[in-house]
Structure 1
Amino acid sequence: MPSSRKKRQTPNEHIALSSSQTTNSLYIDNGDCTCVCDHWYALFWYDKRVSAMSSNQAHYNHCCKNGQVKLLISRIPPLSLVTLFDQFQFLANIRAYNNMFAMTSFGGKVDESLNIGSGPYVFKIEGLMGLNEQTLYILCTCPLQYPLLFIHGESGWSNKLRLTVDEQETDRKMTMNMFYSYQLHNRLNMYTLLLRGGRLFQQYMVDAYASIEQDRLNYLRYNQNALRNEFLQEIVRYMDRFHALKAEDRPVVIARVFHMKLLFFTKFLKTQKPFGKVLADLYTIEFQKRGLPHYHLLLWIDHPDKIKDASQLEAYISTEIPDPITKPVLYRIVTESMMHGPCGIANSKAPYSRFICPHEAAWRIFNFLTHYRNRPVQVLAIHLENMKHITFRDNEQLESVVSNEYAKATTLTKWLANNNIDANGHHLRYIDYISDYRWLNNRKHWKHRVTERTPAVGCRSFEDIKTIGGELFLTFQSACEKLGLLGDDNEWFNAIEEVVAWATATDLISLFTHMLLFCEISNPKRLFEQQWKKFESDASYTQHIVNDEN
């Protein structure tokens, strides 16, 4: 590939492209998909660049992992076939034409009931794919399943494919996910039938994602015993290049643009602060029955900006349909995109349930997050000394497992160890350590953050944890009691007092046993010593009768 074909887009060029006027002055236009990957010429939007790198150049890594994934260039198909792929009638029936030549059958149950009506076509499967090892092997030879998309017999994914990295690297395997993510990108001056396959392309994407998931399940199975819309101007302009295709024929574009809009909208809420200062945010992605994505966003707002009175809600929430005359664009968005007809018993075929569709397949193949939280949450290990869980393979020698310090390391043990060599965190409790340090999971190590706090004394061993005010307690529980971290058991004391007037001693013993088993009693021994006389009444009464008879 000659280097003259490569074209990078600078920030100034991006601004020029995104300056197109829309009917809505508040619409954020992200420009056109004209940037080119430095490595294998994949086209991408400027706002999908790797933001951590230089702002003077647009770098991208979703397509080939920074050049590590390299596949053979597709050969140009015959002109007669190119002409067919530009005809609406052919694309409307392309799945039927493909089945006439396919040498294998599709493994999933296809639900066509969704496509009865005027909505856009969606290829949808329900239930399990039912793929086995043999089917997976056949799927790796794409021409057998999709002869119209791979007319030159191009090979599919194989477990023999390797990344273009140094041979010294221990993990050079090209995964299914990497393979399909590479395939799903348009590339500069390269023609491919795959991305122009319309409804057949939808099937291929669902097939690819199902294969990825099956491959992951197979790994777990075989290693189990060894482990213990149109308002988006970017989509409209992009589809103008392919006059025979509709937006639903390119679910990859919908997924990529939606992901870009999602990131921009979240950034807008944080930087422009329409609701106030955002302290943290969380979102989750869901896919409707027709496959289109939407996301649920939760924001944590700083206390001074929080809504404190019901009258303030009107400034943020509206349940009215916008005026079609004064706000025509907003009215159109709400009525066409946020409202639907009857569902449930009134319309049992209403599209509101979730299935596997090509839009979700594209989302997951690109490894876009379905759940996101900021700030990140670090789980801190809690265990007694030498009582942590260790995962090892069944063929490992126990001596090597016990001597493996890396496997035994946890956030707790490394916190104690780090306090012996780094005095900067002595002023922090274990639960607060994350504020000044971050946990490197791949290295099992705490790394110091930049901080201006003054150090003080901290725990350096398990004995230090049990030492309160210079006194070493025998148990962690007694140390927690000294600190007032445990309850006083008054609720359990009161529970027994409430029932003692009518319950028998047997009932009381049963109640106390249930408390021990299922309740969090801070000091069971003390509770027993306070209440045991109530438990003995039956025994004492029986003993008195026996003594009197004798």
Structure 2
Amino acid sequence: MLHQFNPFVIRFKQLSILPNISECSLILKERPRNHHQYNLPTAEQVATIIVGCDADSMDYGRDINVIRCDGNLKKVQETKGYYDPLQYPVLFPFGTHGWDINTINCNGRRVSCRAYYSYMLQIRPNDQSMLLNAGRLLQQYVVDNYVKIESGRLRWIKEHQSDIRSELYQGLHDALHVGETNAENIGKRTILPSSFIGRRRDMTQRYEDGMAIVLNGGKPDIFLTMTCNPSWSEITSKLLPFQTPQDRPDLLTRIFRSKFEKLEDDVINKGVLGKVKSYMYVTEFQKRGLPHVHMLLVLESNDKLRDPKDYDSMVRAEIPKLECEPQLHEAVVRHMIHGPCDIINRKSPCMKDGHCKKRYPKQFLDETRQGTDSYPEYRGRFDESVSLGKDRSVDNRWVVPYNPWLLLKYDCHINVEICSSIKSIKYLYKYVYKGPDRVAMEVHKGSYMDEVQQYIDARWIYAPEALWKIFRFTLYRLYPSVERLQIHLPNRHQVRFYDHQQIVDVLNNERNSKTMLTQFFALNLRDPQARKYLYREIPEHYCWNKRDMEWHRRRSTRKVLV
């Protein structure tokens, strides 16, 4: 079929007929100093490794070439429509073009790269999509085109912000005073904004927002982690014969999101764990290939968990009796058993210096005890072991803490911990906002494994994470919202301008003299009602309009932290 209908087959050479193709292998290494981000992947899935994408560097494209039949090389730009049929001839046997910068919809409007691939990856009734049933090739297609999307965003930043500079307002006055008129000779360039989600600056600001909630609402009471269950019936019922859940990352992503939205409604809106005063959550993607969510909850004072008796009413860490609670027994054994690790499996990812980082197996305890700057030590009484098959038996020392109601309803790993006794609250928030997965790797050329060419630090992205971002699902959320107020000395605020502007024009622009702080003082002059509030209280009663750089009265009072 390809030789008969694909226009690219007759124009370019196939790799299978090229002699002397050099071998190259990547060896992933663990970085123990930052184990959470650099632990080794355990899932057998296709992933992409993005080099040079930390907070201060950008990747503007990939070096992709094809060989013409005459032997000459041709560079293929990922923004061209022929990239997809060249890279995936099996998926597009007729050479059907993919997205390019001129792709339009039925209304004649240009379609973004993200919107195009989101459309391509939709599940449609009675549509036997070759793409969605392509297995590992689907995984490659997803991560490949996610890189294309992110590269396009970075390229846009390069093209539109390379000429943007920032300087103190007073610094512009000083420059003008000494005779400088051209803006391109002063200030510093803006490289990668904190609005670029997932980068170090973005995660740092989110961590600071979380700490603002702690300062105003108190320490979190509950730390909840929910992990996708690939054996959910909603996933397995849609698989074709011989397919695995990993072959349908789109299903994994969509079903997990749907389940978590229901959990969010139960926990936050319905208050099944207690009335929630404030919360935050982060969606992450394990190197095991499954999405999961970390959630921190601050409860209202009447629902606070104050002693071991309260802890036992919400959290259990024991295997229920089969004859008393058969469904819960099965769920705990299936989802809430840690390991195997320790002497059973020294190579488990949780092992460090010969011991389990999570301190499994735990001690047998007849009563729950208050932790000392740690999670509580939950009740786990001595009892008969339960067989898991494969010559392994477990007892209560291996049970991960859980809430029975949530575990039974959602049928997946849901770890519920009481964290109100933890003094090092910064640890919790830094763990939640640790950032995307990364890998450290060595590149070896040739057949000799000791010929190390370079050591590379790179991002690691699986198909579920790529799909989550392509579909634009929520990655982070916190309540109440946090307003980042500006504080500065007179005329010492940052001003952004283009390097082609004249300094006098920048200074004459009234917007450049306005900030949240200066307009707070202006608000007090014109609105007597505002004089009742401190600067940090203003966002609860007024909202900041970035367009006209003014504070406007809210129609209804809203809980906002600063």
TM-score computed with the length of structure 1 as normaliser = 0.55
8 Å contact kept, 1:343–1:350: no
- Structure 1 position 438 matched with structure 2 position 561: no
- Structure 1 position 363 matched with structure 2 position 468: yes
8 Å contact kept, 1:280–1:375: yes
Q: CA RMSD in A?
A: 3.9
- Between the aligned partners of 1:221 and 1:351, the Cα distance in structure 2 is 40
Give the Å deviation of 1:432.
0.4
* Bigger helix share: 1
- Structure 1 position 152 matched with structure 2 position 89: no
1:117-175 superposed Cα distances (whole Å, 9 cap, x missing partner): xx97411344639883553714742010011111222222212234666x8xxxx6533
Q: How does 1:113-192 map to 2 (within 5 A)?
A: 121-126=44-49, 128=51, 132-135=61-64, 137-138=77-78, 140=80, 141-162=83-104, 174-192=111-129
SS in 1 for 2:501: coil
Give the Å deviation of 1:421.
4.0
Aligned to 1:530: none
**1:413 aligned to which of 515, 518, 523:** 518
1:459-508 superposed Cα distances (whole Å, 9 cap, x missing partner): xxxxxxxxxxxxxxxxxxxxxxxxxxxxxxxxxxxxxxxxxxxxxxxxxx
- Structure 1 position 330 matched with structure 2 position 267: no
Give the Å deviation of 1:222.
4.5
- How many residues of Structure 1 are paired with residues of Structure 2 in the alignment? 344
Q: How does 1:239-278 map to 2 (within 5 A)?
A: 239-240=238-239, 242-243=240-241, 245-278=243-276
Paired residue type of 1:274: V
SS in 2 for 1:283: strand
Aligned to 1:377: 482
Give the Å deviation of 1:347.
4.6
Aligned to 1:341: 340
- Between the aligned partners of 1:173 and 1:184, the Cα distance in structure 2 is 19
**Identity over aligned residues, as a percent?**
30
Q: Could you say which structure has the larger radius of gyration?
A: 1
Paired residue type of 2:155: N
1:159-196 superposed Cα distances (whole Å, 9 cap, x missing partner): 2234666x8xxxx6533222222221123444431111
8 Å contact kept, 1:392–1:401: yes
- Structure 1 position 195 matched with structure 2 position 135: no
CA 1:452 to 1:252, structure 2 compared with 1: closer, same or farther past 3 Å? closer
CA 1:276 to 1:443, structure 2 compared with 1: closer, same or farther past 3 Å? farther
- Between the aligned partners of 1:411 and 1:151, the Cα distance in structure 2 is 57
Give the Å deviation of 1:442.
4.8
- Structure 1 position 212 matched with structure 2 position 161: no
1:299-345 superposed Cα distances (whole Å, 9 cap, x missing partner): 11111111122331111222223434443443444333343323899
Paired residue type of 1:234: E
8 Å contact kept, 2:45–2:462: yes
8 Å contact kept, 1:380–1:411: yes
1:351-400 superposed Cα distances (whole Å, 9 cap, x missing partner): 99863211111112122232221111110111223221011121122233
Give the Å deviation of 1:289.
1.3
1:60-85 superposed Cα distances (whole Å, 9 cap, x missing partner): xxxxxxxxxxxxxxxxx99xx9xxxx
- Structure 1 position 448 matched with structure 2 position 549: no
SS in 1 for 2:253: helix
Flag structure 2 segments of 5+ consecutive residues without an equivalent: 6-13, 30-41, 53-58, 65-75, 166-228, 352-436, 439-459
- Between the aligned partners of 2:15 and 2:235, the Cα distance in structure 1 is 30
Give the Å deviation of 1:297.
0.6
8 Å contact kept, 2:48–2:144: no
CA 1:139 to 1:224, structure 2 compared with 1: closer, same or farther past 3 Å? closer
TM-score computed with the length of structure 2 as normaliser = 0.54
Paired residue type of 1:232: W
8 Å contact kept, 1:142–1:155: yes
Paired residue type of 1:142: D
CA 1:323 to 1:133, structure 2 compared with 1: closer, same or farther past 3 Å? same
SS in 2 for 1:300: strand
SS in 1 for 2:461: coil
* Bigger strand share: 2
SS in 2 for 1:196: coil
SS in 1 for 2:266: helix
CA 1:131 to 1:321, structure 2 compared with 1: closer, same or farther past 3 Å? farther
- Between the aligned partners of 2:285 and 2:467, the Cα distance in structure 1 is 12
Paired residue type of 2:340: G
